[in-house]
Structure 1
Amino acid sequence: MSQSIDSRLNQLIHTGQQHLLRNGLKGLEKESLRLAADGVIAHTPHPMGVGSALTHPYVTTDYSEALIELITPPCADPAEALRFLKDLHTFIYRNLGDEILLATSMPCGVTGDESIPIAEYGTSNIGRMKHIYRRGLAYRYGRMMQAIAGVHFNYSVNEALWPVLCELEGGADSLSSFIAGNYFGMVRNVHRYGWLTIYLFGASPAFAKSFFNGREHLASRFSEFDARTLFRPYATSLRMSDIGYKNDSQAGLDISFNNLDDYVATLGKAIATPYPLYEKIGVKVNGDYRQLNGNILQIENEYYSVIRPKQIAESGEKPTLALKRRGVRYLELRSLDLECFSPAGANLDQLRFLEIFLLFCLLEQSPPLDSAEKREVSQNGMAVACCGRTPGFKLRRKGREVLLKDWAAEILEAMRGIAEILDAEDVSKPYTRSLEEQAAKFFDPELTPSARMLAEMRASGESFEEYALRISKEHARVFRDRFLSAERAEFFRRLTDESLEEQQQMEAGDKLSFDEFLHHYFAQA
């Protein structure tokens, strides 16, 4: 496995360019369900004191009005991204009253779909589109799945590395084609090896029985932890299993990850292809929109994937067109549960490991993914999510069985050279230390977050909801007691005011009816 990595690393070292692996940009998007003080999902609107969920650059909502999402800017230093995320939490808690943010990925305090309010974004055409898209998700999949929270790790390669790699590898392609091709190579390798991050950082082995309210027949597939909790004994991330972000309509999709053009074309086809079950729901019924369309996907974001190639879209621009016009700007890794042992939902060692992992995915060979391999890697991810800590657990690699811990050891050894380069002259070797910390989890699965959560619940005698509520309150105290500099507080206050003003301007500036706006949006080419 490491031959490709060794070859590329040796080329960079020989030319004195290995330092260009450093200073890629890292960013975080962290979702959290807002709960009332009694642990029930909040039914209050998105707090006005933190600005407009439509236009604020760092604070928005995901599916639900109660599912707040905090976004950091891209930072070369992962510690800076984490500091910004902590500052955001501190600011948010100044505007939450007695509400708290749920520390776990699997939801608590919900009693069925109707208890989960869909996010509102005002009366502008763009705001209405965002709300109707979420209404469509409710009709298609139910709201409960959408109340699950996670962390997205955004990463872009150091821009200065691309021309160097391109020249070292012959420079046959244009630089823009080379960049897109290598980002899609990373995407394919994340699909191949992404089970690694599910094992290491999965923190959702259990969930409240109320998650199956209205779907009680599904409970028989799980073991009973206690009278209020279901679990799987060796699960890592049930969020990433078939009760999480999965749906039957997408099972037959064959989205291509082999190049940018094919990715855009196959994703665009799914958005344009009618799906009879969704057509039966209706699009505009008695003058009221139920969904944006009756197709397999309403828009690009409905496609659930462990990683997405991204380009910053302009206002009203389709994401696929942004990619087609300006190429890939960064990757969004979406397979991370909330790190519930850290108040911010992520920790620095984790972020350093993810940086090493994504550079491994860049440097490792990445042949095209055919349909058979796509099925295999998808099954590997699902298997690790459900049962990855099982003693002697095996995965499939090119049709053959391999022990999870043996395959993991191969990958981690191949990552070692990257970690050493990222450590540079730092005598504390933070990247190498992070790599070793994660490697220990394969020798002792009890060190994984999923095992730790179950162990703590057993020791305390708590149900999942009791456990989640207790640690959420502990995290809330951390941020309510945390100092926020006057400069940072003023920065967030200014963004709050600007975002509210921007939303008002958007609502006042719309010239098209919503029907016309939607037609123009989907007609973009």
Structure 2
Amino acid sequence: MTSTFLTFDARVSAVGKSDFLNSLRNIRRGVEREALRINPNGRLALTPHPSALGSALTHERITTDFSESLLEFITPPESQRKKTIEQLRDLHKFTLNNMGDEWLWPMSMPCFVEDHNEIPLAWYGDSNVGKMKRVYRLGLKNRYGSMMQAIAGVHFNFSLPDEFWQKWATLHGKAHSTEQVSADYFAMIRNYRRFCWLIPYLFGASPALCSSFLTGKSPELPFEKLGKGTVYLPYATSLRMSDLGYTNADQSSLQICYNHLDNYVTLLRKAMETESSRFKQFPAGEGGNWQQLSHNILQIENELYSPVRPKQPTRSMEKPSDALARRGVSYIEVRALDVNPFSEVGIAQSQMDFLDVFMLTCLLIPSGKLSPDELQLTNDNIATTVLYGRKPNIELVRPGQTVTLKNWALELVEYFAEAAKVLDAAYATSDYSASVQLEKDKIIDPELTLSGKLMANMLSENRDNGAVGLELAEQYSTKLRENAYLHDDETVFKQMASDSARAQNEVEAKDTKSFDTFISDYFSEPPAKKNA
């Protein structure tokens, strides 16, 4: 078949027809929301993961991230638009009902932490896989520090159904295949990288942080002080995504390629096999001393800090790169979202609607290959936006020209509006167009952004971010506990907890190898071939 080039307008016209609209109703989305457990005094809860929630190793919906104190809520892929947010509310209600008098911290940057060393590493039991997860986290602590790993975020998972991809391939004169679907997802990712700066501008909600976060650090940023112990940058949107947050200097040399799946996988594997002089100081099993999983740039693929990831669900003990090599891209994980402090579950329905529009637009706009120079520009634009995004006339750079953030964003709104009309038609709603208008208002007036609203709240009364966070945590705890269950109730969640505990026991009972042998076997397994 001959490949056909289509413009944005031609693609919009095509997907606006009934057969495409029917397939768009099966977009699947999910959310992973992280949240620190805190005490009512605003300090980190140092208690173990509540046993009533089940096993953090094997529970599919409620687990932990870096710390015992850092919960992660996971919703399954759903095609019903509003089901995900409702499932999140159910998960939060059950959790709050089973964690005593503790609350959930409603912000991305951590609450007051007196001693970084008091942040308890997550515990996953005595199985080899449980120990591996813990050693990986110990490696993160040694490499980057515990405070960085206590930062919470929200991940939005997005996938288009196979019937859409079949029609999309036909539209472009191509044969439908796993390889073609992966190539089109990568085209989407390239445009996502180009436009990703807009997400922290709109949804960044960490312009300020508790000064305890900076203990032992010497940031070269012009922080201003607020209240008793808050520091902030006047125009910042997401300090979580700045160099204060998730950073790995060694990763900057990787130049991860988003032009082809094969290259992406190859570079990921190379990072897992390339020794880092910086991390060589920490033992990786020598003499039975496990302070990290390896001395390499990445211990495992999950250590790659990126605002987006192509994903394929993994099977038992399967590496993410092998899953991609074998079965291609299944969905996209958007990782640039701060916890929304104005939502009791960390994300609002209007945000999810806009992200549907954003991701579809990234596919509809023709997407050329990303050169290393342009990829660096995408990183630079994010760095500018997270620190100075609300500054009047702040400029970003695209190949060959500078442009104000506002003007570029308003250009993109024109594309978003067309994609929103398509989704409105597919779902018989006006919510998608409304979500675009809501975000357009924030582009015109930066004070309407999440970071702008949060700073206005604090500055108006010289309030610490900790005081604001604590007030919201109490308010949300009360509200969520009073909510009625909409999908899964107490009985279902208790059964999930019981099943997960039983599953962990089974995993532990099946272990026959020493931990050293288990890790050696895991890393020595030959890389998977395509469709193996």
TM-score by length of 1: 0.96
**1:329-357 CA distances to partner (integer Å, 9 max, x unpaired)?**
11100000011001011111110000000
- Correspondent of 1:91 among 89, 94, 99: 94
Aligned position for 1:290:
291
Aligned position for 2:37:
34
Please identify runs of 4+ aligned residues in structure 1 that moved more than 4 A.
425-428
Query: For the structure 1 residues 28 and 220, does the alpha-carbon distance in structure 2 shift closer, same or farther, using more than 3 Å as the test?
Result: closer
Aligned equivalents of 2:232, 2:73: Cα separation in 1: 28
2:90–2:488 CA contact under 8 A, matched in 1: no
- The one-letter code sitting in structure 2 at the alignment partner of 1:20 is S
1:21–1:158 CA contact under 8 A, matched in 2: yes
2:22–2:426 CA contact under 8 A, matched in 1: no
Query: For the structure 1 residues 455 and 124, does the alpha-carbon distance in structure 2 shift closer, same or farther, using more than 3 Å as the test?
Result: same
Deviation for aligned residue 1:487? 5.7
Q: How many residues in Structure 1 have an aligned counterpart in Structure 2? A: 521
Aligned position for 1:144:
147
Aligned equivalents of 2:223, 2:162: Cα separation in 1: 47
Aligned equivalents of 2:379, 2:325: Cα separation in 1: 26
Alignment partner of 2:108: what SS? Answer: coil
- Correspondent of 2:204 among 184, 202, 205: 202
**1:180-205 CA distances to partner (integer Å, 9 max, x unpaired)?**
00111111111110111111100000
**Counterparts in 2 of 1:13-412, with a 5 A limit?**
13=16, 16-171=19-174, 173-215=175-217, 217-218=218-219, 221-412=222-413
Aligned equivalents of 1:425, 1:249: Cα separation in 2: 44
Deviation for aligned residue 1:110? 1.0
Deviation for aligned residue 1:285? 4.8
Deviation for aligned residue 1:112? 3.3
Aligned equivalents of 2:181, 2:281: Cα separation in 1: 42
Query: For the structure 1 residues 323 and 119, does the alpha-carbon distance in structure 2 shift closer, same or farther, using more than 3 Å as the test?
Result: same
Aligned equivalents of 1:306, 1:454: Cα separation in 2: 24
Structure 1 segments unaligned to the other structure (5+ residues):
none
Aligned position for 1:414:
415
Of 447-456 and 108-117, more deviation after overlay is shown by 108-117
2:29–2:84 CA contact under 8 A, matched in 1: yes
Aligned equivalents of 2:15, 2:242: Cα separation in 1: 39
Question: RMSD of the TM alignment (CA)?
Answer: 1.5
Aligned equivalents of 2:8, 2:242: Cα separation in 1: 31
TM-score by length of 2: 0.95
Aligned equivalents of 2:114, 2:150: Cα separation in 1: 12
- The one-letter code sitting in structure 1 at the alignment partner of 2:492 is F
1:212–1:219 CA contact under 8 A, matched in 2: no
Alignment partner of 1:366: what SS? Answer: coil
- The one-letter code sitting in structure 2 at the alignment partner of 1:116 is I
**1:222-247 CA distances to partner (integer Å, 9 max, x unpaired)?**
22223411111011111011101112
Aligned position for 1:440:
441
Structure 2 segments unaligned to the other structure (5+ residues):
1-5, 528-532
Alignment partner of 1:281: what SS? Answer: coil
1:19–1:421 CA contact under 8 A, matched in 2: no
- The one-letter code sitting in structure 2 at the alignment partner of 1:120 is W
Aligned equivalents of 2:343, 2:222: Cα separation in 1: 30
Aligned equivalents of 1:203, 1:382: Cα separation in 2: 15
Aligned equivalents of 1:523, 1:7: Cα separation in 2: 48
1:112–1:144 CA contact under 8 A, matched in 2: no
1:203–1:236 CA contact under 8 A, matched in 2: yes
1:112–1:214 CA contact under 8 A, matched in 2: no
Of 422-431 and 349-358, more deviation after overlay is shown by 422-431
Deviation for aligned residue 1:14? 5.7
Of 61-70 and 425-434, more deviation after overlay is shown by 425-434
1:111–1:213 CA contact under 8 A, matched in 2: no
Deviation for aligned residue 1:18? 3.6
Aligned equivalents of 2:92, 2:400: Cα separation in 1: 45
Q: Percent identity, aligned pairs only?
A: 41
2:420–2:436 CA contact under 8 A, matched in 1: yes
Alignment partner of 1:251: what SS? Answer: helix
